[in-house]
Structure 1
Amino acid sequence: MSKVPVGAFIATATTPPEQVGPLARQVEDLGFGEVWVAEDCFYYGGFTSAGLALQSTTAITVGLGIISSMTRHPAMAAMEIATLARVHPGRFLAGIGHGVPAWTDQMGLTPRSPLTALNECVTSIRRLLSGETVADEGRQFTFRDVSLAFLPDTEVPLLTGVLGSKSLRLSGRIADGTVLSVLAGTKYIEYALEHIRGGMTEAGRSSHLLPTYALFSANKDSKAARAAVRPLLAFYLEAVGPRNALTGAFGYNDHLAELLSEGGTDRLVREMPEEWIDELAVAGSPDQVGERIEQLLKAGATSVVLSPVNPESAAEELELVAKSVLPALGR
């Protein structure tokens, strides 16, 4: 039986740490192929929560999407990755990104060059995980004869979590995959893959994971599910702003700028076109959810990671998908 290319995200803002393990176990029991945690400052910790999820499950892939390249020295991040991968071989995916500028700025950790920092971070972690002693004076990070005492028994996939064209190309060159943000619809996936493949060609790489997050709501009442996703979809649209690649791939940016300038999030919730829900979320009846997941997979996502918008009904909605959608996707 092949692994289902659908995962579930354990929300940072609404999940206390003590619930991460039980929720991960529930996701596995329902038959999903992946469970993902994150490290949004300053909620639950990324590595510790990945450990809780791994310890509470037996076979499901656990992804960490993502940590900032700046909040830990890469040597310390490599140590954490090696520990989890050694104890749970073949089950852990580590995602690394630039970090949210507002959060890194709060800690005085804004990099001089985000691309350089990410490049040095990912490549040095890979070298350490392979058993090298690293002695480099980089532009962002210094290593003075650093090596890991305990190495993982299997190769650990290193992914990035990035958005822009230059970062996507870098990801294709140095990483084993890219975690795509919520709002990553089919046209953005195609845009991202174009740049990722350019980097892959430069490095001679032939494969690349593309787990794709999606704001999610499922209900037998399609209208209720689509209404439920509107507030959080509007929140993210305001957060990314009217000049971004995610909505730009669809030609939405001018309309988004107009709505934001004349009413902000409230107007977005009320007036965003239904097409935006179709293209930027996974919301509706089970049949609509299944169709949307298939569209994202066809566009190039290697898995679709459902991020429930309503914590109170998340378990019920995931169960509905497990019963009505997953059987057609690999179970």
Structure 2
Amino acid sequence: MPFSVRLSSGTPARVFRDCAEVAEQFGFDQIWTGNDLLRRSGVVPVTVALAATKRIKVGSSVLNPVSMHPAEIAMIAAGLQDFSGGRYLLGLGAGSEVFLRWAGLQPPSPVRRTREGLRAVRTLLAGGVPTGWHDRASLKDGPAPTPIYVGAMGPKMLALAGREADGVLALCLPPTRIGWFTEQVGETPPGFDLACCLWVSIDEDRDAARARLAAKIAAYAGSLAPDTLAAAGLDVEKFQHVQSLMTAGDAEAATAAVDDEMLRLGIAGNVRDVVDRCLELTAPGVRHLSFGQPLGGSLVEAVALLGRHVLPQL
């Protein structure tokens, strides 16, 4: 089973490089970082990490075809594939509606823009011309085959990934619903990489790990779809209360209001806790576990802790 680690958008390039080196040392197969609009570029740390490593694959999770034109995405992917000897992974996604609006952009629906961007980028990387483009609109340096993943959480985006991509970065919240996520992706061709992406907080101090995950959940409480929470058996009103505290500017109270039930959205605890939860998830159909932030107080130490003590037991 492949294992990967994901670092948030805005992670400094030097920190991401160090994490990539540690992840490679301890046997991770992939490492990813985001590219949210108005944060530090996610392309820079990916480039630095590829230069510092030899085996591990390094990915963007995700680039969006609205603020970045599909032609530019294909150009970046082609350049990184050439530079790394084929170790770059391209993640595509809809992008945050909030961030896009901040930039004055009014894109089509998330599924539509992701589908159109995916098809255009794939065609360009294969050496072709996307539908509706000028007949000279092809990559001038030739084909650059690159695995394309779709970042997804909802059923329509998951199904799109299963039909048209090489893999999916499926944000599995809570982890107990992994089976539902794999069902939504549907039948896939051999080699399709279904990465079950988790929020993980690991620390030798169990309480510290839980506190970090609580802070993460508080920060995202208002972004989680009520239908998704309800389907997972979680109390939507609790998340609304936490979001009201965040909106009022009281992050400390919001974090304190995250209870044990809400912590089920992710995995938090010491090594034994994390191993036990992950073993529960390695059911039929789960092919790839991806560990995402908050991870730990020190990202490098958290990656080492996962690699040294968790991966060997899975």
Q: Secondary structure at the match of 1:99?
A: coil
**1:161 is matched with which residue?**
151
Aligned to 1:32: 28
Q: 2:76 aligns with which of 72, 77, 80?
A: 80
1:215 positional shift: 2.4
Measure, in 2, the Cα distance between the counterparts of 1:33 and 1:18: 20
Q: 1:322 to 1:206 in 2, by over 3 A?
A: closer
Aligned counterpart in structure 2 of residue 272 of structure 1, from 258, 262, 276: 258
2: CA distance, partners of 1:288 / 1:69 = 39
Per-residue CA shift, 1:300-327, capped at 9, x if unaligned? Answer: 4433232342664332233222222222
Structure 1 stretch 28-37 or stretch 117-126: which is displaced more? 28-37
Q: Which amino acid aligns with 1:177?
A: G
| Residue 237 (str. 1) matches residue 221 (str. 2) | yes
Tell me, in whole angstroms, the C-alpha distance in 1 between the residues paired with 2:15 and 2:209. Answer: 25
Q: Once the 2 structures are TM-superposed, how far is the Cα of residue 116 of structure 1 from its aligned partner?
A: 2.1
Match of 1:327 in 2: 312
Contact kept, 8 Å, 2:63 with 2:73, in 1: the verdict is no
Shift of 1:147: 1.0
Measured at CA, do residues 57 and 275 of structure 1 come closer, stay the same or move farther in structure 2, by a change above 3 Å? same
CA separation of 1:195 and 1:25: change in aligned 2, threshold 3 A: same
SS of equivalent residue, structure 1 residue 309? strand
Please give the alpha-carbon distance, in whole angstroms, between the structure 2 residues aligned to 1:5 and 1:328.
13
Same amino acid, percent of matched pairs:
27
In structure 1, C-alpha distance between the alignment counterparts of 2:160 and 2:48, rounded to whole Å: 31
**Does the residue aligned with 1:298 lie in a helix, a strand or coil?**
coil
Measured against aligned partners, the alpha-carbon deviations of 1:103-142 in whole angstroms (never above 9, x if no partner) come to 11122333123322211111121111112133x33xxxx4
Judge which range, 225-234 or 292-301, deviates more: 292-301
Query: After the TM superposition, which residues 92-103 of structure 1 pair with which residues of structure 2 at under 5 Å, given as runs?
Result: 92-103=88-99
Deviation at 1:8, TM superposition (A): 2.1
Which structure 2 segments of 5+ residues have no match? none
Matched, 1:150 2:141: yes
Give the counterpart of 1:172 among 162, 180, 184. 162
Corresponding residue for residue 12 of structure 1: 9
User: Which residue of the partner structure matches residue 209 of structure 1?
Assistant: 193
Aligned positions of 1:39-118 closer than 5 A: 39-118=35-114
Q: Which moved more, 1:103-112 or 1:308-317?
A: 308-317
Q: Which residue of 2 aligns with 1:317?
A: 302
Amino acid at match of 1:319: A
Superposed displacement of residue 221, structure 1:
3.2
Shift in alpha-carbon separation, 1:254–1:240, aligned structure 2, 3 A:
closer
Q: Residues 96, 327 of structure 1: CA spacing in aligned structure 2 closer, same or farther, 3 A cutoff?
A: same
Alpha-carbon shift at residue 99 of structure 1 (Å): 0.5
Report the residue type matching 1:230 in the other structure.
Answer: A
Contact 1:221 1:285 in 2 (8 A): yes
Gaps of at least 5 residues in structure 1 are: none
Q: Go from structure 1 to structure 2 and tell me whether the alpha carbon gap of 1:275 and 1:298 turns closer, same or farther (over 3 Å shift).
A: farther
Specify the alignment match of 1:254 in structure 2: 236
Amino acid at match of 1:285: N
Contact 2:234 2:261 in 1 (8 A): no
Q: Give the residue type in structure 2 aligned to 1:225.
A: A
1:123 partner letter: R
Distance 2:3 2:56 in 1: 11
| TM-score, normalised relative to structure 1 | 0.82
Aligned equivalents of 2:151, 2:307: Cα separation in 1: 27
Aligned mate of 2:182, from 189, 193, 198? 193
**Number of matched residues?**
310
CA contact (8 A) 1:63 1:94 kept: yes
CA displacement at 1:152 relative to structure 2: 5.1
CA gap 1:284/1:29 in 2 versus in 1, 3 angstroms: same
Structure 1 312/276 Cα, relative in aligned 2: closer, same or farther at 3 Å?
A: closer
